[in-house]
Amino acid sequence: MVERPLRILGIPGSLRRQSYNRGLLLAAQELAPPGVTIELYELHELPLYNQDLEEAGPPAPVQHFKRAIAEADALLIATPEYNWSVPGPLKNAIDWASRPPATSPLRRKPVAIMGATTGLFGTVRGQLALRQVFLSTESYVLPKPDVLVRDAASLFRDGRLVDEPTRQMIRQLLEALVAWTLRFRDDGR
């Protein structure tokens, strides 16, 4: 139980309606410890990053996204890897939120990452690439535990994550993210 409610913004790195990664976040909502809420943020509305748009005043969906990040205590990202790296929509969203760097809501923001793939390697390459991006934004990415979900199709029934070992991994990630976030919450952000 945390003393003050803790707000986590869950971001799926996939736009797909039946996304397994969104499924991981829905499971995280079910498994959140008392005092922790997880709200999902979809990336569909964000335009492609364009510095001309930024300089003209960021479009409303961008402003909304940045505000949602700023108001959250932490981010929880669940993403596939595309071609061994970060899916375009997610990278695009991070690029928007990273601007301008001095006031970016990503600075010093605690972040946890998990990922599901229908393939064999559990998004390990994509997660490493994402960690590199968050070095640039000065975000505080939780180092462990890894949640690397392979062969995702076999772990879901009717869109719900039913595999108990995977649910347990998510529970452990959430516990670690809560402890990690509380370390940083009062550091003067």
In the complex, the residues that contact ligand FMN under the rule CB under 6 A are: 14, 16, 19-21, 80-84, 116-119, 121, 152
Closest residue to ligand FMN: CB criterion: 119
What are the Cα distances from residue 74, in Å, to 6, 17, 125, 180?
Answer: 8, 24, 23, 9
Nearer to ligand FMN, 65 or 82 (CB): 82
Nearer to ligand FMN, 23 or 110 (CB): 23
Nearer to ligand FMN, 73 or 81 (CB): 81
Question: What is residue 188's three-state secondary structure?
Answer: coil
Nearer to ligand FMN, 18 or 51 (CB): 18
User: Which residue in 131, 123, 125 sits closest to 94, CA to CA?
Assistant: 131
CB of 18 to ligand FMN, least distance (A): 7
CB of 119 to ligand FMN, least distance (A): 3
CB of 45 to ligand FMN, least distance (A): 18
Question: Containing H/E element for 7?
Answer: strand 6-12
84 Rama class: left (phi>0) / alpha (psi -120 to 50) / beta: left
Q: How many helices (H) and strands (E) does the chain have?
A: 6, 8
